[in-house]
Every structure is written in C-alpha cells, then in structure tokens.
Amino acid sequence: MFEAGPQHKVAAVVTSYNPSVDIISRVTLLRNLVPYILVVDDGSNQDASPILSVLEEDGITVLRQPRNSGIASALNEGIRQARTLWEPDWILTMDQDSTLGENYVENALRSFRNAAAQGMRVGLVSPESHNAKPVKRLHGNEDVVQAFDPMQSGCLIPVSVLDDVGLFDESLFIDCVDTDFNLRIRAAGYSTPVGVGCDIEHSLGETRPMSIMGRPLRVDGQDLQIIHHSPVRVYYITRNIWLMVVRYFSTNRIWMLRRLWMEVESNIVRVAFGPRRIAFVRAWLTGIRDAVAGHSGRIRPHDAAKLK
C-alpha cells in the first residue's frame, strides 16, 4: 500500500449514455479537480456526436463504445484506457449526471491517509454525502466512518486495489455493479471510508407525482414525488439484488438483509404510489425468476418487449 500524496496521479472515468448538454459543464468543473479525464460513451442510441465532439475540442479524451454494453463494461474499458494513457495511481469513477463539491479529491485523499494511518486497508473512498444528505453507513463506532454500500459515482479507488480484486462485473450490465464491487473488496480485507467533506450532487432520475387512485398526494400544499424507473430498469434492479443475495448471503447475512430491505421499501413505494403498477410487478417477477436461474447480462429481447 502506498501513501497518497501530491505526486500521485488521479484519472477520472466518466460514463455517458445519451448525454445531455449538461455533461459539458460538469466535465469542465471536474477539470479543476483532476488532471486526467476520460469520457466513455456507452453506445448511445441517440446521436451524441455533437456533445462528445465539444468535449474532444476542449481536450477531453472520449471513447465511443460501438454498442450499449452496460455501465460495468463502460467503466472497465475506461479504466483500461486511462491506465494505458496516463498510468494513474487512482481512478475516480463518475456518472454523467454527477457533480463534485469543492476540494473533493483533496478531501478524499486526506481521508485515505487518515484511514491508512489508523491501520485500515482502504479499498475506496466514498462520498460523505449525496445532494447534502449523509450516505448510509456501516454500524459500529469506528474512528473512521465507513459507507454502507457506496454508489460508484464519486468513488476514489487505488489502482492497486483494482489489480488485487479485479474490475467491475460486466455480467450485471447495470445496477448493483457497485454493490458487487463493494462486497468483493470487503471480502479481500479492504474498507470503504467516507471522504470527510466529500459531497456529490447526483441526479436521482425522473420524478413523478405520488398518487393514490389517480389523486396526487400533497403535504403542506406541495406534491410528493417518487423516483421513477422504467419497468426494464426495475427488472435489472430486482434481478441483480437477488443475484447479490445468491452470491453473498452466506457470508454477509446481516448486511445483505439490510440491503435487501432497502429495495423492498423502494418497491412498496412504487406499488403504492407510482404509475404502471402491473408492469412493475411483472418486472419484479421476471427479475427474480432470472436471478434464481442464474441469468445475467442484458435482458432478453422478448422479456424487454413484455415490459414496455
């Protein structure tokens, strides 16, 4: 394990899919924090060339995947290319809709040094908060607080850890890619400390009004909102969390039950207050079926068609 210091290089890998023009300003801000940035477009099915070309004209390295292969594949290819180009000591993984707070990387490196000084093997440094809300944390009274299940966007990962435990699991395609990585690094004896002072602004996706029987729910005159995912996305969320149960329940029972309950809560809210309830139930059943059967990768075309 090396001591992080100013001589160590950080490269950011930013994943992109059908990006909006906002990615340009976000990457511009990111340039103030890291010297090397690689944007991986994961086979956008809309023409992203005008936006990606602006990034390239600004000196950003852009990698275009020939087809949509999932976020794990995009991250892995970006990491490989970044290591070839710049030989960084650290990889900062980022989503296209995330923005880091001021001094984020400096604070993350300081937190790494603090954890290492207390004898911890650091697998990654997690954001301390998402949209100003503290991340969920592991139970315990450690001097260094660890994140429960760090979202990959905003994680600072030593390259040596990637060499030890491997890259992200491409068979998951999307969702739980970070959960699987977190459990693998913990199994290898690494920790996941939060970076003190590391806040990330991250879009939670499309929101829809909460409703019962078609009537919107309001509190103090304000409509309540629910984060909306398509049924196909719910399929991946459901399938992959149950794949995590199959893989890790025997060795991480308490952690896995807590993580599973987080998904159950989200599903209850979707059924109770969201649209397309029947499609969501069908997505859950299909996801559980495929998890039990050990099916991973991209959703089968005929199943995707049934969920549209």
Cα 200 from Cα 159, distance rounded (Å): 22
Residue range 83-141, pLDDT digits in tens: 999 999 999 999 999 999 999 999 999 999 999 999 999 999 999 999 999 999 997 66
Of 50 and 228, the structure prediction assigns the larger pLDDT to: 50
Helices (H), the chain: 22-30, 49-57, 71-86, 104-117, 159-165, 177-187, 231-248, 253-273, 277-293, 301-306
For the chain, helix, strand, coil in percent to 5 are 45, 20, 40
Q: Read off the pLDDT of each residue in 241-249 and give the average, rounded to a whole number.
A: 96
Q: What is the pTM of this model?
A: 0.89
Range scoring the smallest mean pLDDT among 126-140, 145-159, 164-178 = 126-140
Quickly count: other Cβ atoms within 10 Å of residue 100's Cβ. 26
Q: Which structural domains are found in the chain, ordered by start? A: 10-202 (3.90.550.10), 207-306 (no CATH)
Strand partners, 243: none
Residue range 191-201, pLDDT digits in tens: 999 999 999 99
Closest CA to 161 of 209, 91, 109, 114: 91
E strands along 180-238, which residues? 199-202, 207-209, 211-212, 215-216, 218-219, 222-223, 225-227
How does strand 199-202 pair with strand 129-130? parallel
Residue 227: is its pLDDT beyond 70? no
Helix, strand or coil, per DSSP, at residue 241: helix
Q: How far is CA 107 from CA 113, 171, 179, in A?
A: 10, 33, 23
pLDDT confidence bin for 263, thresholds 50/70/90:
confident
Instruction: Report pLDDT for 4.
Output: 42
